[in-house]
Every structure is written in structure tokens, then in C-alpha cells.
Structure 1
Amino acid sequence: MHPLPSEITPAGVYAQRRLYLQSGLALAAGSALGVAGATTPDGTLPILKGQPSALPGVNTMERPTTLADATSYNNFYEFSTDKAEPAKRAHVLVGRPWTVRVDGLVNKPMDIGLEDLLRLSPMEERIYRLRCVEGWSMVIPWVGYSLSKLIDKVQPQGSAKFLEFTTLADPAIMPGVRSRVLDWPYVEGLRMDEARHPLTLLAMGMYGQVLPGQNGAPVRLVVPWKYGFKSAKSLVRIRFVEQQPVSAWGRAAPGEYGFYSNVNPQVNHPRWSQATERRIGEGGLFAPRRQTQMFNGYAEQVAHLYAGMDLKKFF
């Protein structure tokens, strides 16, 4: 019997695995990503034992999207606007060395490396089985921890009201950066209380392994109650600011992509309805559509952040 297309590992994923092994980021077996701490004598990262998040109501019981589907249908315009191309091209993202600059209105600005990001929360790495919107709806077991851990470490000043996230924009390896589809580098932003919410993650793995390039290696943001473009990939800078940042999509099309971009079935995109959605891996364009859930199903956890706001105005 021939395997289903969703059961076949894409060539880009296979190449990415080999690249990570060659660059010293060892893949772990089973449901663990590898562990935070100093590198071992052979230069690899030790094993980190991910476990289900203890946050109430977070880990969905829905069937996860297959790894093959989640790594072969991706929005990553730095590589291509075609959803299939990032899996073929993003293997060039090497996880080491990698540094994220954290600065702006903080008392302890720093340049923090990947090993230090992992070490930051040595006993609290978690697997979060979350619904998310990555082009289409998916259910992905992310490995990471709450961004609030990093926020606490750098000690924001009282005037810091927002966080601005900047992603890698390297025209030497990212052909999309040479295009004019967006104003590069890709920038996103969150309000401080959104960034501090326990569901806002720094993710360094998925499905028990390091992030594939097309999914935002080696470290990315995951904000599961917002549309996928808010979850910036391949982070290189986090800046604490007083004024609301202008995001890449907010600059390109402010009438279509608001700053908050919460999943909201009652607010349509100007060019299409957002009342229903399709789940990736469930039949493509001919799959039955699902009713979109408010805040992508996380209303119980996050609705209080927007109490009293007109969510049609602040979309």
C-alpha cells in the first residue's frame, strides 16, 4: 500500500534535519527536544525533557496536524510567497551561531545566544499542543516556554508599553528579501500585557525536535490566539518601546492588517470572510470548512486582555 502524501517527509524537512545535525543541534527522539544548558564536549546541546504545559485549558485534545503537513505548507515570504517553497529553501537557516538582541527600554539589555535562551528556563520547558493559524488552521505541539521569562530577565522600564520583534532579513540566503512584496526586515509587535501572557511563547522546537527552517528556526514567537503573521519567525531582535510599533503588514496594508489581528469570526478581511476556516491536512481546497472560534478557541484565557475594547475598530 502506498503511503499518503501527508505521511511522506518532504525533502526540505529531511535536508533540514541533516543540516541541524551537522551544525551541532542534535535532534532528540520521542517527545523531547533537547535540554537547556551548556553544550556538551562534542558541541551538541544536551537533551531537554519537554512535558505538557500545566496551563489550564491550553493543551487541546484535537488531533495534531501531521509533521509533514505542518512543514510543507508555510508562510515565509523571506523565501517565497509560494506556500510550498519555504520547505525547499529554508534549510539554509543554521541554528548556531545565533544571537537575539534584546534592547530598548530595559534595564538589562543583552545579546542572548540560543544556548542561553534554552538555559533561561531550565526546569520549565514545555510542550504546548496549540491550535494556531499558519496560513490555514493547524494543531501543533510546540516546544518552548513563555516569553515572560525573557521579559523578566531584561527588566523592562515603566515606560515600555510594547515589544517590537524583528526577524532575519538576509538577501544572501533569502530570495524573497530581494523582492518588494514587503518593507524588510519583517517587523511585528505586541502590547506588553499580550507579550507577558503565559500563552505567548518563545518556541525553539515542534514535534519533539528543533524547529525546521521553514517553521522559523531557530527561535520564533507563537501567539496562538492571533492570525499567524503575528508570530514572527527567526527572531534577531526584541525591542521594548513606548509607542505602538508599525508592523510589516501594517505598513504595507493598514486597512487590511490591524495591529491586534486577533482571530475574530465577526471581523472579515476586506477581501474575504473569516467566519470559517480550513484545517491543513484535511482535504485541501475541498475540505469541509470549520466555524472559526473567537480568539482561535482561547477566549477563556485571553479575552480579559481586550475588555472594553471595540474589536471591530481595534482589529
Structure 2
Amino acid sequence: MIISRPSDIAPSEITPREAYAERRRFLQTAGLGLIASAGLASGLVQAANVQPQARRKLAPIVKGPYATDEKPTPYADVTTYNNFYEFGTDKSDPSRNAGTIRTRPWTVSVEGDVKRAKRISLDDLLKLAPLEERIYRMRCVEGWSMVIPWVGFPLARLIEWAEPTGNARYVEFISLADPDQMPGVRVPVLDWPYTEGLRLDEARHPLAILAVGLYGETLPDQNGAPLRLVVPWKYGFKGIKSIVSLRFTEKMPVSSWMRANSREYGFYSNVNPEVDHPRWSQATERRIGEGGLFNRRRKTLMFNGYADQVGQLYAGMDLRKYF
């Protein structure tokens, strides 16, 4: 596969123009008209004065299973074209503004239907399993995709450590929502904190990881530092960032995007080219780093190309109803 040189890419060049415009209109109705409020503006000015994040190598790292052999998206694109609304709603906002987050010390609360409900430090989490590099295809609901060399460990290892009870059927993830560190939280774009969820068997699947880095280095702030979820067969918004809590429940959690617009964003959020988003097709995608507006569109793969690994999780389900 030939990868073009990275270039400065405007959101409207990657996402189909009509899709980008419609999504922007939806977000404006959800509260983005307040984005220029004095509180947020002052927070972004403060963020702009933060020094660039230091990059640190992670070691040791082993090669993980299921990795694609596709060439990774350039580091510059992976770290400057992001969705992280806690730091702004444009794709370039997180890389400019996320330096205000304090990622050390960091703890994660394990709660709900588990035998080992407690708060665990990130350092102790990293002792649960060796760090692995997983080069995964990633697909956004807006029509763009990347190939990212994540560094992390299987989510299943944390679940095994937590010892869910027989009542646990789902895992709810909750991200940090601190307006002092995250100026976007001061604006009601979404119902903060950002929440997501997986069925327990999905969460236990070996493809699902908790990432702490990419490209062999610590996870950049704008990519969800210090701990984020990666489920490569689902659309990118399932990959909740800056996780502070995991809650094991019997009842299906309602995620942030479901709460904002359940008609467009379902719980499962599996990459499925046969189920269109209500406002645009999901049949094709554009790969970041392949030429901007003029790069070729490629067919979207069922479960983002991981059908052989995860298809059995959804055997017998109506994937149009459970989207």
C-alpha cells in the first residue's frame, strides 16, 4: 500500500463535505453555540500556553496478536486529527489544548458487580500484563480511518483481576470531566462525564485493549492519556479516553452519544457498511494520510476487517436493529 506524505488536512477535506456540515449543525443544536463563551475561551488561552508534552519510550513491549500488516498512519496525523470534545470540537483542537490535563498521579475506580471493587493506580494496572503493540485499523463514523500502532494490554486482564460477579453483564467506562483541566467540559456539548459501555463478552475479547501509548511511546494527551479504550471493530467514538472508572453492571449502560442522539448512535456501534448513518453512507471511507480531498475512497469492511475474530459475538443478532 502506498502512503502519501502527510499534509495539513482540513476536516472538510477528509470527511465528506455534506457529512461534516451536517454533523457540525447537529453539534451546534446540542450546545456548541456556546463554544466561544468567555469561560471556554479563557481556558483555551491557558491551554495554548502549556509546553508541548514530552515523548517517552515505553519498554519492554511485545508484539501483540491480530495486528494488521498495513502501513501505519503517520504519527503527525494520528496526533493532530482527533475527536476529544473535552478540549474542543474541531479535529485540531485537542492537539493544541490537551496539555492542561494532569495525567500523573492517575487512578481508576473499579466498581459495581465485582468481588474486587477498589481504586487502582495506573502503575499497578500496568503490572497486570505485559505491554503489547497492536497495529489496528480504526474507523470513524464520519467516514475517515487510520492505522494506529497502539501500545497497551488486554482489557480482559483487568476484568480477570476485578472478578465480576454472576450479575455482571456489561462494563461501563467513565472518563475524567474536570473543567479546570478540560475547558470543553464547561460547555454542554454532551452530558458530561463522557461515558461508554461494552457487553461483558465484548470487553473480554482479546482484540479489546486498554491503551497507554502509541508508536512505542507514552500516549499523547490529545489521544486520551493516560488510559483509553481501543475496540478496533467498532466506530471510534466507542474508544473512551482518559478513563477514571469502570463500573460492572447488570443493566446496559447508556453512553454519552446514545443520550445525545440515540437515533444516530447505538450501543453496539459496530462498523457495518450495510447500515448507513441517518445522514450519510458508511459504505466507503477515506484513509488519513492518503492525499486529503483527492485520496481514493476504499470500501468499508464489515467489523472494520475483524469479522473473522468477532463475528461470533453477534451470531443471530439483527445488526440493523442493534446498530
How far is the alpha carbon of 1:94 from its aligned partner? 2.6
In structure 2, distance between residues paired with 1:130 and 1:150: 20
Matching residue of 2:185: 177
How far is the alpha carbon of 1:5 from its aligned partner? 5.2
Matching residue of 1:294: 302
1:150-205 deviations in whole A, cap 9, x for unaligned?
A: 00111000000000000011111212111121100000000000000001001101
Which of the numbers 212, 215, 231 marks the counterpart of 2:220?
212
Which amino acid is 1:76 matched to? Answer: F
Which amino acid is 1:205 matched to? Answer: G
Matching residue of 1:85: 93
- In structure 2, the residue corresponding to 1:152 is in which secondary structure? helix
- In structure 1, the residue corresponding to 2:73 is in which secondary structure? coil
- In structure 1, the residue corresponding to 2:69 is in which secondary structure? coil
1:201 aligns with 2:209: yes
1:41-68 deviations in whole A, cap 9, x for unaligned?
A: xxxxxxx211211x3xx11111100110
In structure 2, distance between residues paired with 1:108 and 1:273: 43
- In structure 2, the residue corresponding to 1:243 is in which secondary structure? coil
Which amino acid is 2:184 matched to? Answer: G
In structure 2, distance between residues paired with 1:302 and 1:223: 11
Specify which structure has the higher proportion of helix.
2
1:239 aligns with 2:275: no
- The alignment's C-alpha RMSD in Å is 1.7
In structure 1, distance between residues paired with 2:139 and 2:121: 28
Which of the numbers 269, 274, 278 marks the counterpart of 1:266?
274
Contact 1:94 1:218 in 2 (8 A): no
Which of the numbers 133, 136, 156 marks the counterpart of 2:139?
133
How far is the alpha carbon of 1:125 from its aligned partner? 1.6
- In structure 2, the residue corresponding to 1:78 is in which secondary structure? helix
Map 1:69-108; keep pairs closer than 5 Å. 69-108=77-116
In structure 2, distance between residues paired with 1:289 and 1:113: 43
- TM-score (normalizing by structure 1): 0.85
1:50 aligns with 2:58: no
Which amino acid is 1:116 matched to? Answer: D
- TM-score (normalizing by structure 2): 0.83
In structure 1, distance between residues paired with 2:303 and 2:278: 19
Aligned residues: 278
Matching residue of 2:284: 276
The structure with higher relative contact order (CA 8 Å, sep 6+) is: 2
- In structure 2, the residue corresponding to 1:278 is in which secondary structure? strand
Which of the numbers 218, 224, 237 marks the counterpart of 2:232?
224
- In structure 1, the residue corresponding to 2:281 is in which secondary structure? coil
Determine what percentage of the aligned residue pairs are the same residue.
Answer: 59
Matching residue of 1:42: none
Contact 1:91 1:212 in 2 (8 A): no
Contact 2:53 2:221 in 1 (8 A): no
In structure 2, distance between residues paired with 1:276 and 1:60: 19
In structure 2, distance between residues paired with 1:192 and 1:267: 24
